[in-house]
Structure 1
Amino acid sequence: MTIQYINNPDQLDALCQLISQQPWIALDTEFLREKTYYPKFCLLQIASPDWVACVDPLAISDLTPLLEAIYNPKIVKVLHACRQDLEIFYQITGKIPGPIFDTQIAAPLLGFQENPGYAMLVSSFLNINLNKAHTRTDWSERPLSADQIQYAADDVIYLCKIYTLMCEQLEKLGRLDWLNSDFELLNNSELYQISPENAWLKIRGKNKLTGKQLSIMQALTEWREQTAQEENKPRNWLLQDDFLLELAKLQPITLGELSKIRNMSERTVNRYGKVLCELVATARQRPPKPFSEKERSSKKTQQHEAILDVLSAVVRIRAEENSLNPVILATRKDLEALLFDDEDCLLLQGWRYNMAGRELQGLLQGEFVLSLKPDTVVISKV
Structure 2
Amino acid sequence: MAETEFINRADALADFVAGIQTADWLAVDTEFIREETYWPELCLIQVAAADRIACIDPLALDAEAMQPLRELMLDPSRIKVFHAARQDLEVFHHEWGALPGPVFDTQIAASMLGHGDQIGYANLVQALCAVELAKGHTRTDWRARPLPAEAVEYAADDVRYLGPVFQQLHTALEKGGRLEWLREEFDALLDEGLYRPDPEGAWKRVKGHRKLRPNQLAILASLARWREEEALARNRPRRWILKDQALVDLARRPPATVQDMEDMRDIPPRVLQKHGEAIVRHAQAGKEATPPSMAATPDRLDAHQEAQVDALMALLRARCAEHDMSPAQVATRKQLESLVRGETELPLLRGWRAAMAGRDLEGLLAGRLTLKLSEGRLVAE
Considering the TM-score relative to the shorter chain, is it more than 0.5? yes
CA contact 1:182–1:350 (8 Å) conserved in 2: no
Higher alpha-carbon deviation: 11-20 or 76-85? 11-20
| Structure 1: gaps spanning 5 or more residues | none
CA distances 1:20-59 after superposition (whole Å, capped 9, x unpaired): 2100010000000000000001100000251101111111
Tell me, yes or no, if structure 1 residue 16 matches structure 2 residue 17.
yes
Tell me, yes or no, if structure 1 residue 107 matches structure 2 residue 127.
no
| Structure 2: gaps spanning 5 or more residues | none
Q: Which residue of 1 aligns with 2:369?
A: 370
Q: Which residue of 2 aligns with 1:166?
A: 169
Question: Which of 46, 69, 81 is 1:66 aligned to?
Answer: 69
The 3-state SS of whatever aligns with 1:131 is coil
Counterpart Cα distance in 2 of 1:372 and 1:357: 15
Query: What TM-score results when the alignment is normalised by the length of structure 2?
Result: 0.90
Counterpart Cα distance in 2 of 1:342 and 1:220: 35
Q: Which residue of 2 aligns with 1:98?
A: 101
Question: Which of 101, 122, 125 is 1:122 aligned to?
Answer: 125
Higher alpha-carbon deviation: 138-147 or 259-268? 259-268
Query: What TM-score results when the alignment is normalised by the length of structure 1?
Result: 0.90
Q: Which residue of 2 aligns with 1:287?
A: 290
The 3-state SS of whatever aligns with 1:243 is helix
Counterpart Cα distance in 1 of 2:259 and 2:357: 58
Question: Which of 87, 92, 108 is 1:89 aligned to?
Answer: 92
Report how many aligned residue pairs link the two structures.
373
- Once the two structures are superposed, the pairs formed by residues 1-382 of structure 1 within 5 Å of their partners are 1-48=2-49, 50-62=51-63, 63-292=66-295, 295-297=296-298, 299-302=300-303, 304-336=305-337, 341=343, 346-347=347-348, 351-360=352-361, 369-371=368-370, 376-378=379-381
Q: Displacement of 1:346 after TM fit? A: 4.8
Counterpart Cα distance in 2 of 1:76 and 1:196: 33
CA contact 1:89–1:97 (8 Å) conserved in 2: yes
The 3-state SS of whatever aligns with 2:104 is strand
Counterpart Cα distance in 2 of 1:104 and 1:280: 42
CA distances 1:317-368 after superposition (whole Å, capped 9, x unpaired): 422432434444333134235556596x55256533431235546777x6x8
Change (3 A) 1:178 1:153: same
Counterpart Cα distance in 1 of 2:103 and 2:299: 34
Q: Displacement of 1:133 after TM fit? A: 1.3
Higher alpha-carbon deviation: 136-145 or 168-177? 168-177
CA contact 1:182–1:349 (8 Å) conserved in 2: no
Letter in 2 for 1:311: L
Q: Displacement of 1:218 after TM fit? A: 1.4
Change (3 A) 1:55 1:311: same
Counterpart Cα distance in 2 of 1:186 and 1:374: 39
Q: Percent identity?
A: 41
Letter in 2 for 1:287: T
The 3-state SS of whatever aligns with 1:245 is helix
CA contact 1:258–1:277 (8 Å) conserved in 2: no
Counterpart Cα distance in 2 of 1:84 and 1:120: 19
